[in-house]
């Protein structure tokens, strides 16, 4: 799971202190939301190194590839942004990362809506795969026998290698449950 020295492009922007943004690494919110902060540029950069190491270790732990180290196009850099490159490595934070990864898990929401009543949670098993199971009960009144017919391992939905596989399996289960519920 370890990775050597890696370098990711970022920009530093004075906000409440200094924020380090990774827009290519975190494409959904990296332009607006900093990955780390610090009261000074130096502290912000130090915090970014550690946070980046945690993020990359988490990706590998989740059986994902390391994200792209694509550059930030200069045409998108404004006057208030200072383009920087953050270098980090697993070994710099290995002990802390190992302690935290033990508790890592995924929350999966139906159709990725965090307000959904349909939720699952996944934990890594001893084989290095993820067991995803319904978080609580599905909020649909349905006989347990019917759920077992739909998903013989209920409340465990699936055992998968990657998060996207768990999300797809969970969404499919919820859609099948909803379809049966409409028929009742």
**CB of 91 closer than 8 Å to CB of 107:** no
- Residues 134 and 166 placed together within one structural domain of the fold: yes
> What mean pLDDT comes out for the span 18-24?
95
Q: Over the chain, what is the mean pLDDT? A: 90
How far is it, in rounded angstroms, from Cα 91 to Cα 101? Answer: 15
> What mean pLDDT comes out for the span 93-113?
90
- The pLDDT, as a whole number, for residue 1 is 63
Domain that holds residue 93: 6-101
- The pLDDT, as a whole number, for residue 2 is 82
Q: What is the model's pTM?
A: 0.81
CATH code, domain with 45: 3.30.160.250
| pLDDT tens digit sequence for 53-69 | 999 999 999 999 999 99
Taking Cα atoms as reference points, which of 81, 169, 161 lies closest to residue 120?
Answer: 169
- Residues 112 and 166 placed together within one structural domain of the fold: yes
Query: Is 145 a residue whose pLDDT tops 90?
Result: no
- Residues 82 and 155 placed together within one structural domain of the fold: no
Tokens of residue 82, six digits: 């200072």
Whether residue 29 lies inside any domain: the answer is yes
- Residues 111 and 97 placed together within one structural domain of the fold: no
Give, for 97, the enclosing helix (H) or strand (E).
helix 94-101
Whether residue 1 lies inside any domain: the answer is no
Give the CA distances from residue 88 to residues 50, 65, 175, in Å, rounded to whole numbers and listed in that order. Answer: 7, 16, 42
Q: How many domains does the chain have?
A: 2
Q: How confident is the model at residue 74 (pLDDT cuts 50, 70, 90)?
A: confident
Last residue of a domain, one of 69, 101, 133: 101
Question: What are 170's strand-pairing partners?
Answer: none
- Residues 66 and 85 placed together within one structural domain of the fold: yes
- Residues 91 and 26 placed together within one structural domain of the fold: yes
Supply the angle between the helices 94-101 and 41-61 in degrees, to the nearest 10: 50
Query: Is 46 a residue whose pLDDT tops 80?
Result: yes
3-state helix, strand, coil in the chain (%, to 5): 35, 25, 40
- The pLDDT, as a whole number, for residue 184 is 67
């Amino acid at each position: 799971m370890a990775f050597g020295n890696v370098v990711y492009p970022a920009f530093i922007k004075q906000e409440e202190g200094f924020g380090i943004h990774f827009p290519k690494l975190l494409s959904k919110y990296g332009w607006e939301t900093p990955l780390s902060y610090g009261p000074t540029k130096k502290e912000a950069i130090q915090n970014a190194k550690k946070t980046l190491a945690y993020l990359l270790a988490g990706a590998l732990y989740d059986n994902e590839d390391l994200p792209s180290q694509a550059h930030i196009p200069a045409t998108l850099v404004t006057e208030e942004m200072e383009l920087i490159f953050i270098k980090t490595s697993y070994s710099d934070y290995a002990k802390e990362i190992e302690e935290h990864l033990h508790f890592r898990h995924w929350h999966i929401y139906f159709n990725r809506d965090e307000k959904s009543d349909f939720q699952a949670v996944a934990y890594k098993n001893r084989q290095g795969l993820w067991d995803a199971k319904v978080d609580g009960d599905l909020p649909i009144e349905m006989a347990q026998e019917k759920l077992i017919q739909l998903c013989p391992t209920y409340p465990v939905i699936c055992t998968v290698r990657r998060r996207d596989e768990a999300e797809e399996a969970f969404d499919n289960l919820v859609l099948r449950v909803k379809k049966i519920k409409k028929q009742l």
